Amino acid sequence: MSDIFANKIGTVAAARNDAPVEGSQSLRYSPAEIEPRWQALWDADPSLYASEGHDSGKPKYYCLEMLPYPSGALHMGHVRNYAIGDALARYMWMRGHNVLHPMGWDAFGLPAENAALKNNTPPREWTLTNITAMRKQMKRLGLSYDWSIEVTTCLPDYYRWTQWIFLKMYDAGLAYRKKSKLNWCSLCQTVLANEQVVNGCCWRHEDHPVEQRDLTQWFLQITKYADELLDGLDKLDGWPEKVRTMQRNWIGRSEGTLISFAVKDSPEKVSVFTTRVDTIFGATSVQLAPEHVMTKAFAAEDPTLAAQVEEMIAQQKAAREAGDLGAIEKHGVSTGRFAVNPFNGELVPIWVANYILADYGTGAIMSVPAHDERDFEFAQKYGLTIKRVVGPNVDTDDLALPYTVEDEAVLIDSGEWTGESSLEAQGKMATFAKANGFGTPTVTYRLKDWGVSRQRYWGTPIPMVYCERGHAGVEPGGVVPLPESALPVLLPEKVEITQQGGSPLGRVPEFVNTTCPVCGGPAQRETDTRDTFVDSSWYFYRYADAKNTTAPFASEKANYWFPIDQYIGGVEHAILHLIYSRFWTKVMHDLGLVADDEPAKRLFTQGMVVKDGAKMSKSKGNVVSPDLMIERYGADATRMYALFAVPPDRDLEWQEDGLGGISRFLNRVYRLTLKYKDAHRSTNTLAGQSVAGQQLLRKLHQTLEKITRDFSGRWHFNTSISAIMELVNEVQAAEPAMDSEEIPVATVAEVFRTLVLMLAPFAPFFAAELWSEIGGKGVVFRTPWPQADAELAQDDEMQVPVQINGKLVTVVSIAAGSEDAAVKAAAMTDAKVVARLEGKVVVKIIMVPGRLVNVVVK
RNA sequence: GCGAAAGUGGCGAAAUUGGCAGACGCACCAGACUUAGGAUCUGGCGGAGCAAUCCAUGGGGGUUCAAGUCCCCCCUUUCGCACCA
C-alpha cells in the first residue's frame, strides 16, 4: 500500500500550483488548500484505514468511539470525542498495532419521525441524508475510520440480526410479554424504559413528566443478570469509578428477609421486605403502599379509607408532575386493621402510607420507628409507639433516636435474641423465620426488567406474530415467534406518521395482516417497534464482521477483536447504553456467540464542551459550528485545540481566541519545516556534534519521552501539545545556529522528521503535508513511532533549588549525577546562601538527591 | 438530605512520588520591521515594593525541614442519587 501511496503523493505535489516561497517570514500554510487535497487522496484508498488480518503478527487494538445519532450535523462534543479517539487510533497504528477503528450510525429513533411530520420527508430519507452529511463532516475532520465496515442500525442488513438475537432471547426465556405499569411520555407518544426517565421526566423532554400507564409490552429479563452485572463491575478497573458507582446504585442490590405477618380476623397474610430483621421486636406498625393489593381490599370495604387512599395517589401524581417527589410530606392513614408480629405475637396496626413504594420489595414494610429515619418521622407525626430494641450495648438508657447503627450494635428487649450483635442476629433470625415458615432470606434489586416495546414507527420491527385462531400449544391471539427464515421483518416504507396515539404500524394493513408460520392461519404482526437502545447494544460486534449475511458476526472474528481495548464517549450513557450493552454481551456470551462476558476493557468518558459556562444548545444560542471553525482555522487546528485547551476528562470552555493560537503555532511549524527541508536531502552526515546541537536533540528526546508517556498513561494531551510547543520554541530560538550549520544538518533533519511524526496523531493533514515536503517515505501515520533515546534526553547539568527553612533562596547549577556532598558544598558556598546564613545556626541540612537542598537554621 | 469530583493569575490551564507555584497558550503592554496586517519577530506580564524582600493555590486550623499536593472543620460550584425499607 505504501508504494502506491508514495506515488500518489508525488502526483499531487507536482500538480500543486501555489508552491510557497521558501524562507519567507510571511509564509502561511493554507488548511483550505491542504486538507481537501489530502482528504481526496485518503478517500480514494479504502485500504488506508482498514485493519489487517488476524494473522498480521501485530497485537490487535480495538479503539471505539460511541456512534452518533444522525441528527444532521456534528456538534463540538462529537468533534472532541472523535479527536481523542483518532489521536489514539493513529498513535496505536504508529506503535505497530493492528487497529480496528470503525464508525456507524444509531439511526433509528424519534427525531426522524418528528422531522417527517415537520418537513413531510420520510424518516428513512431524512436519516440517510443526514448520515451522508455527517460522514462528509467526519472525513473533512480527517478521522481515520474504516468506512468499509460502517454500520447503520436502520438498514435491514443490520436490524435483521437485531431481530435474530431477539428470537434467540425469546427461546432462552429472556424476552417475554407482560402487562405492567409503564412510563409513558405523551410528547413521544410511547412508553419509556426506567433508565429513560430522569427526575420523573422523559430523557428527551427534560421538563415533561412521564405518566404511568398499564400496558402489555415486551420485556428483556435484565434482572436475571443483575448479580453478574454487579459483580462484573469489580473487574472493570479500566472504567471510571464514577460510572461503576452509578451502575451499582442503579442495580441497587439489597439483601434482606421477607417476613409474613398474619392479619387479624382474616385468612390473609401480608409480606414485608426488611434488611433489618434484627429490629423486628421494635416493629410497631405495618405500612402498605397506597397501590398495594391489600390496601385495595381494605378500601373496598371502607369508603372513607378508599377516599383517603384515592387522595394520596392523586397527590403523589401531582407531585410527580411538578417534578418534586422528594419534597412531598409523609402522611398516612390507619386502616383500623391489625397484623401479628410472628416473632412475639404482638398486634400492630396496619396503615397505608404515601412513602411506601409499590414497586420495590413487596410494597409493604414493617415500621420500626426507633431504628429507621423515615419510620421515626412518620411515627412522631402520628404518635405511633416508638420502641427501642437496638443500642450500643444492652444497658444504654439515653440514646438519640432514631438509632440506625448496625455494626457494633446489640439487641435489647428482643426475647431470646437480646444481647446478640445486630449483624449476627440478622442471620439467626432469618434462619429462625424460615424454619418456622414465616420468612425467607431474599435479595431485592432496584433494577427492573427492560421494557423494549415502543409505540413508534421508526424502529426495529419485533419479529413476532399473534395467531388469530390459535393452534396446538398456542391459544387464540397467542404469541408465535417467526422462524429465522422469515427475517428480516422489513419495516414498511409507506407509513403515515401522525401525532395520535397507537403504533403507526398498526395502521398499515399490509404489514399487520399475515399468516401464522406454524398453522398457516390468519395472524397479526406485532406493531410496536423496539427501543433504539436495543440497536446500539451490540453494534460494536457487527464491526468485527460487518458484511456477514449468514450470521450477526462470526464468533471467531468477534473473539479476535474483543474486548474493546478503549471505548470513548460521554458520561450521559453511564446507565443507559453502557448497562444495556453489558447485559447484551452477557446474553451473547451465554448463547455461545462470544467468548468474553464484558464488551470493553477500558472506558473513557470525556467532558462536555461548554460555552459561556453552559452546555452548547440551540435553545441557549451558544452553539459553535465545527464547519465554521474548520473554515476559519482548518480541521487540524480545530481538533488540536479541542485536545490542547484542557485535559480530555474535564469540561472544555470553548474560546475561539485559543484556536487562533493553535493556528499560529501550526504556521510556525510549517514555516520552519519548509525552511529547513533541504536538510533531509543533505549527504553531509559526517559533521561532529556541537553543544547547541546536543541541546536541541536533548529537548527533542525529552519531548518524545513525555508524549509517549502521556499516551500510555494519563492522556493529558493538553500537556503533550504544550511540550511540542516548547520544543518548537527552542527550534525557533536555534534558527541562527541551524543557519550557520553550527547545528549539524543531520541533527536538523532528525529534529524535523521527529517533530512531524509527533504531530501526526493530532494534526493528520498537516503532518501528511509536511511529511511529503521533507521527502518522508510512505504514509506518515503508518510510520513507526520514533523511539526516545534516554541517553540523549539526559540533562548534563541539573538545577538544584536551595531553600533556607523551606523558602527558596537560590538555584545552583551542577553537573548531573553529582554526589550529595558536592551538591551540598555547592549550595553552602553559594554567595546568596552564605549571606543569608550569617549569624544563624545551621540545625541540619535536608538533601533530596537530584531535587533540592533545604538548610534548616535557628 | 446522601455520595462523588472540583475550586490555582484578567482567561484556559501546568506542577508524574510532599520538594523551584503559574510550564504552554490566550488576552494585554512595550518595542522592531513595515507598500498597515486579524501578519511576523523581540521583550514584559500573580500582587505589593525603587529595591532587598514580603505576600499569594476558596476560608480556617493541623502534620512536616518542606503542603496546591497529606489530615480535620467550613464555604462555593458541578455532577449523580434522592423516601429503595
Q: In this predicted model, what pLDDT tens digit does every residue of A798-814 receive, in sequence order?
A: 889 999 888 888 888 88
Helix segments in A615-690, DSSP class H? 626-633, 635-644, 656-675
Contact A31, A640 (CB under 8 A): no
**Contact partners, residue A104, CB within 8 Å, separation at least 6:** A67, A150, A151, A152, A153, A539, A542, A543
Å from the A819 CA to the B17 C1': 21
Q: List the single protein residue with the shortest CA to C1' distance from B27.
A: A657
Q: In Å, what is the separation between the CA of A90 and the C1' of B63?
A: 47
Rounded CA gap, A457 and A154, in Å? 12
Q: What is the DSSP letter of A276?
A: -
Q: What ranges in A236-368 are assigned the alpha helix state H? A: 241-251, 293-300, 303-321
Which three three-digit cell numbers place residue A377? 418521622
Q: Which residues of chain A register pLDDT less than 50? A: 1-25
Which residues from 573-612 of A have any strand B atom under 7 Å from their CB?
575
CA distances from A702 to A30, A791, A795 (A): 30, 10, 9
Output the nine-digit C-alpha cell for A35: 486538507
Distance CA A489, CA A798 (A): 72
Distance, Å, A731 CA → B50 C1': 38
Rounded to 5°, angle at Cα A80 from A77 and A84: 145
Q: State, as a whole number of angstroms, the distance between the CA of A178 and the C1' of B83.
A: 28
Return positions of chain B under 7 A from a protein CB: 3-4, 11-16, 19-21, 23-27, 37-42, 53-55, 65-67, 79-85
- A749 φ, ψ to 5°? -65, -45
CA pair distance A523, A521, nearest whole angstrom: 6
Contact A112, A127 (CB under 8 A): yes
Residue A547: all three cell numbers together = 458484511
The secondary structure of A496-554 as a DSSP string is ---SSSS-GGGG-HHHHEEE-TTT-SEEEE---EE-HHHHTTSHHHHGGGTT-SSSS--
Amino acid A637 reads A
User: Nearest residue to B3, CA vs C1'?
Assistant: A245
Alpha carbons A98 and A567: distance in angstroms, whole number: 16
Q: CB of A203 under 7 A from strand B?
A: no
The burial of A733, by beta-carbon neighbours within 10 Å (0-12 exposed, 13-18 middle, 19 or more buried), is given as exposed
The torsion angles phi and psi of A674, rounded to 5 degrees, stand at -70, -35
Q: How confident is the model over A545-587, as pLDDT tens digits?
A: 999 999 999 999 999 999 999 999 998 888 899 999 999 999 9
Distance A742 CA to B33 C1' (A): 27
Residue A858: count other Cβ atoms within 10 Å of its Cβ.
Answer: 7
Strand B reaches within 7 A of the A571 CB: yes
Q: Which three cell numbers stand for residue A140?
A: 473533512
The nucleotide lying nearest A362 (C-alpha to C1') is B85
What Å value separates CA A453 and C1' B80?
27
Which among A558, A427, A552, A394 has a CA at the least distance from the CA of A484? Answer: A552
Q: Which amino acid is at A795?
A: D
Could you tell me the distance in Å between the CA of residue A805 and the C1' of nucleotide B60? 24
Judge whether A89 and A63 are in contact, CB under 8 Å.
yes
Strand nucleotide closest to residue A574 (CA to C1'): B80
- Residue A23 (CA) to nucleotide B35 (C1'), in angstroms, measures 20
Contact, A707 vs A783, CB < 8 A? Answer: no
DSSP A553-598: --HHHHHHHPSBSEEEEEGGGTTTHHHHHHHHHHHHHHTTS-S-S-
Q: Which residue is nearest to nucleotide B1 (CA to C1')?
A: A326
Query: A211-220 and A450-451 as β-strands: parallel, antiparallel, unpaired?
Result: antiparallel
Rounded Cα distance between A672 and A694, Å, is: 19
Q: Measured in angstroms, what separates residue A661's CA from nucleotide B46's C1'?
A: 22
Give, to the nearest 10 degrees, the angle between helix A656-675 and helix A626-633. 40
- Provide the pLDDT for residue A6: 35
Element (H, E) at A459: none
| pLDDT for position A24 | 43
Q: How far is CA A170 from CA A90, A218, A591, in A?
A: 41, 10, 12
Query: Do residues A434 and A441 lie in contact, with contact meaning Cβ atoms separated by under 8 Å?
Result: yes
CB A485 within 8 A of CB A450: no
| A608, three cell numbers | 462536555
Judge if ipTM > 0.90: yes
Q: Which residue has the cell 397474610?
A: A269
A855 in Cβ contact with A833 (< 8 Å): yes
Beta bridge partners of A272: A259
Q: CA at A704, C1' at B72: how many angstroms apart?
A: 42
Nucleotide nearest to A446 (CA to C1'): B84
- Tell me how far apart the alpha carbons of residues A530 and A541 are, in angstroms, rounded to a whole number: 19
Q: What is the dihedral of CA A593, A596, A597, A598, to 10 degrees?
A: -120
CA–C1' nearest nucleotide, residue A328: B83
Residue A658's φ and ψ, nearest 5 degrees, are -65, -35
Q: Is the peptide bond before A303 cis (omega within 30 degrees of 0)?
A: no
Biggest CA pair distance of chain A = 109
pLDDT at A2: 37
The DSSP secondary-structure symbol of A421 reads B
pLDDT of residue A326: 55
